[in-house]
A and B are shown apart, each in its own frame.
Chain A
């Protein structure tokens, strides 16, 4: 449907002005490096919840994974189960409180800084920072692409212009306002996302004749499953794929486990816990965080699958075919064609909000990792605000350049790759670090390296979805991927995380035994 450009421009302008106004407020309230890096450790619970949620949920979740649901069906709702159960409940209750307390006690400012101080190792801080600086631009670029893909047809501007506008506006308030600005704008953007996704769900079911009619219509489309997907185990859009089939492995290991578990050790989310004043702040935040995530991913995956019904009724095609085979284009196309003009604007703001809230946090995490944890490692993290600002600008430019070169259909996969790497590299060392009384530095270093290396080797040489486009396996061994089914569809997180965890546990136990044998006189490492 055509969108009135004057209305669109006016609403978008108001949105951007409010966002920049909140960024200005953040800048005014930033008096110290502690304010800039961890928002002064006194953030309101609702702001923490909305900031955590809106950082967690990006355009990847809505556009990329919504498109995946259009392709693979409602089985993706298992990811919502993991998002709420692990990404919110477990993260806040099990990890959040310990992270907050330790971060406050050790005066940690960033995730690598926290790890370095827990394990009393500058090398560990450096490696954590290095992994962030190298891998996070991939995720950042995917989010930039997701937002720009929607802006491009909606505002009728070129893709390159959309990317540039996106990147620069976010950078403006992150660079000046630091984490206070990031969290204030996140909360505002989270509220917009909540409204947008709620209306999105209601309108979709209204248009398709109600919950029962719409779901039954989708269930009745089983014979329209493309032969290529049916031969790989897809049974329909309202049912799970055949157990153990290639699509089942992709759905469960890459999308559900990769993203569902990977969220626990994401540096930009862990920092949110360190912005809370006390445990009750985190408890209160939980009441808002759970429903927020339900209304984000739950709606995106449900509506994503249901777009097949709408496209079938309107054009006689299933959603992915209507979008020209591009999974990432399904949700934007559905919104532009099916929804009323006013909602197109609201949804555009929702996507803008989702992208900007995640982007701002990633810029902040990457920039501070570059400055605090790599350039300034071993020194006091508080080098200067100006240094951190330069760090954020450098990483923003690197992500922008990457976004221009990444292929189409990359949004969901890049998100899963980043989260999988985070889990394999950081999760065991982070979990032991916040809970063990005598965490072993050697075990943490070995775990991080084992997780990262095994994840990379599996990605580059076995998991066909990445090894094919990377081409490294083809160049060295003459085949796109080593090992046949099911290994070529098993996500790297399923290999990297257990290896990383096993190394951590074995070396941690050995370190404790060695310390006990020497009567507790030895150093924890």
Chain B
């Protein structure tokens, strides 16, 4: 499994064409945080009625 995960990581790096992990992590965080915004908004769309 670890090898599979590693392989997937290598493939991702190959597809993106960027090798610096700091840049890759930043792009990954952008996606994760955007999804967090969407999910939070949907989960709590009816929460907080005054």
A residues neighboring B (CB under 8 Å): 74-75, 77-78, 80-81, 84-85, 88-89, 93, 97, 211-216, 218-219, 238-240, 277-280, 282-291, 293-294, 298
Contact = CB atoms under 8 A, between A and B. Distances in A.
Contacts of A211: 15-17
Given A218-B17, A238-B17, A238-B19, 13 more contacts: A74-B18, A75-B26, A88-B37, A89-B36, A211-B16, A212-B16, A216-B17, A238-B18, A279-B47, A283-B45, A283-B47, A287-B38, A291-B37
A15 B36 CA distance: 34
Contacts of B3: none
13 contacts: A75-B22, A84-B30, A88-B33, A89-B37, A211-B16, A212-B15, A238-B17, A283-B45, A283-B48, A290-B34, A290-B38, A291-B34, A294-B30
A77 B17 CA distance: 16
A240 B23 CA distance: 7
A75 B48 contact: no
Nearest to B19: A219
A198 B42 CA distance: 23
Contacts of A84: 30, 33-34, 37
Contacts of B26: 74-75, 77-78, 80-81
Nearest to B43: A283
Nearest to B28: A81
Contacts of B4: none
B6 interface: no
B37 A280 contact: no
Contacts of B36: 89, 290
Describe B's contact surface by its main secondary structure: helix
Given A211-B17, A215-B16, A215-B17, A93 B47 contact: no
Interface string B3-45: 0000000000011111110110011011101111110111011
A198 B31 CA distance: 15
Contacts of B37: 84, 88-89, 286-287, 289-291
Contacts of A286: 37-38, 40-41
Contacts of A289: 37
B22 to A, nearest CB: 5
Q: How large is the interface on B (under 10, 10 to 19, 20 to 34, 35 or more residues)?
A: 20 to 34
Nearest to B44: A283
A88 B33 CA distance: 9
B45 A284 contact: yes
B17 A81 contact: no
A93 B47 CA distance: 12
A81 B29 contact: yes
A289 B37 CA distance: 8
A312 B23 CA distance: 22
Contacts of B38: 286-287, 290-291
Nearest to A283: B44
B46 to A, nearest CB: 6
Nearest to B27: A77
A381 B22 CA distance: 48
A478 to B, nearest CB: 40
Nearest to A93: B40
Contacts of B17: 211-216, 218-219, 238
Given A287-B37, A289-B37, A290-B38, A85 B14 contact: no
A104 to B, nearest CB: 8
A236 to B, nearest CB: 8
A278 B40 contact: no
Contacts of B22: 75, 239-240
Given A291-B38, A294-B34, A280 B15 contact: no
A93 B35 CA distance: 15
Contact of A278 (B18, B42, B50): B50
Contact of A77 (B15, B23, B33, B48): B23
Given A215-B18, A280-B47, A89 B30 contact: no
A415 B46 CA distance: 36
A288 B45 CA distance: 12
Nearest to B50: A278
A450 B15 CA distance: 49
Contact of B20 (A212, A239, A280): A239
A238 B27 CA distance: 12
B25 to A, nearest CB: 9
B41 A81 contact: no
Contacts of A219: 17-19
**Closest 6 CB pairs between A and B?**
A279-B48, A290-B37, A287-B41, A215-B17, A239-B20, A286-B41
A161 to B, nearest CB: 38
Interface centre among A77, A80, A298 (most CB of B within 10 A): A77
Contacts of A287: 37-38, 40-42, 45
A77 B34 CA distance: 14
Interface centre among A74, A75, A291 (most CB of B within 10 A): A74
A171 to B, nearest CB: 33
Contacts of B44: 280, 283
A66 B48 CA distance: 38
